Amino acid sequence: MNLIKLFETQRVLDDRIIKEKGLEGQDLLPMKILALQVELGELANEWRGFKFWSENQKSNTFYPCLDCGGGGHDFIKNCVSCDGTGKGGNPLLEEYVDCLHFILSIGLTIGSTNPRVEFPITGGRSKEFTTVRFNECLRFANLLLDDDYYDLLFQYFMDLGYMLGFTWGQIEQAYYAKNQINHERQATGY
Q: How many independent structural domains does the chain possess?
A: 1
Please, what is the Cα angle at 110 between 38 and 120, to 5 degrees? 65
- Digit-coded pLDDT (tens) for 3-34: 999 999 999 999 999 999 999 999 999 999 99
Asked whether residue 119 carries a pLDDT value surpassing 70, the answer given is no
- Reported as a single tens digit per residue, the pLDDT across 74-111 is 666 788 777 777 777 899 999 999 999 999 999 999 99
CA-to-CA distance for 29 and 183, rounded, in angstroms?
A: 21
Domain range enclosing 154 = 3-52+60-187
The band of 71, judged by pLDDT with boundaries at 50, 70 and 90, is confident
pTM of the predicted model as reported, rounded to 2 decimal places: 0.89
What CATH number is associated with residue 104? Answer: 1.10.4010
Helix 127-143 to helix 150-163 angle (10° resolution) is: 160
DSSP 136-153: HHHHHHHHTTTS--HHHH
